[in-house]
Structures are given as structure tokens and as C-alpha cells.
Amino acid sequence: MSVDPASAMRPLPHPRAVLVDPRRIWVTPECDAPRAGAPTLGEKAASIDLHLDIEWIPATQYGWARFLHGRTPTWYAQISIDLRTVNNLAAVTLYQWVPWDAIRPAAAES
């Protein structure tokens, strides 16, 4: 596959295993949403676990894209991560763009 070296989009020839810092994936709300009452234990258990207490979690990278922040071009990695609910009864694969320094190569398996 030939990609123009000036292209802002750079797909990887094959997806690769990476580790991602989960604290760098999410933009958290500035305040809690208004509610009639406190969240129930069931709501908490059925919520997706974002793993914010873990430094690096496994992900798969598919490519790169260059975004312009003000006057500085910055590379972002296109990744997917598999997440489960707190009670492990449901799972979802999420796709996201993260800054270049929010990922690192996964350790090579021996």
C-alpha cells in the first residue's frame, strides 16, 4: 500500500498491539449530571469500567492522523479497546483517537 508522505492519514499495514494510558482517552465532564437521586448499586455495576486506576491497558492501533492544534501539527493514533462492565456481564469494543504520547508498543511476546 502506497501512502503519500505528506498525507495526514497514515494507516498501518497491519493492526498492532499497543498499550494505552486510559486517563488520556476520555474527556471527563466538568460537573456531575443533574439526577433525582444518587446512582444505584445496579447502575454502577452495569456501567463500563474505564480502568482509570490502571496505568496502561491493552489496545490495538490501526493508523495515524495528523491534526492541527493552533499552529502545531500533532499526531494521533487510531485505536480500539475492549472494555467490560463492572459486573462483567457485557462488553464493548470502542474506537478512539488518542495523542501520540498516550500509547506505547506492547511488550513483545516470547
| Within-domain flag for 22 | yes
Q: Look at residue 41 in the predicted model and tell me its pLDDT.
A: 92
| Within-domain flag for 107 | no
Residues 6+ apart with CB under 8 A from 96: 25, 78, 79, 80, 81
Q: What is the pTM of this model?
A: 0.83
| Within-domain flag for 2 | no
| Within-domain flag for 34 | no
| Within-domain flag for 105 | no
Q: One digit per residue, pLDDT tens: the chain, 110 residues?
A: 566 777 899 999 999 999 999 999 988 788 877 888 888 899 889 999 999 999 999 999 999 999 998 889 999 999 999 999 999 999 999 999 999 999 999 986 54
Q: Look at residue 38 in the predicted model and tell me its pLDDT.
A: 85
Q: Look at residue 110 in the predicted model and tell me its pLDDT.
A: 44
- CA pair distance 98, 107, nearest whole angstrom: 19
| Within-domain flag for 39 | no
| Within-domain flag for 13 | yes
Residue 49, all three cell numbers: 469500567
Q: Domain count of the chain?
A: 1
- Domain range for 60 is 9-26+45-100
| Within-domain flag for 110 | no
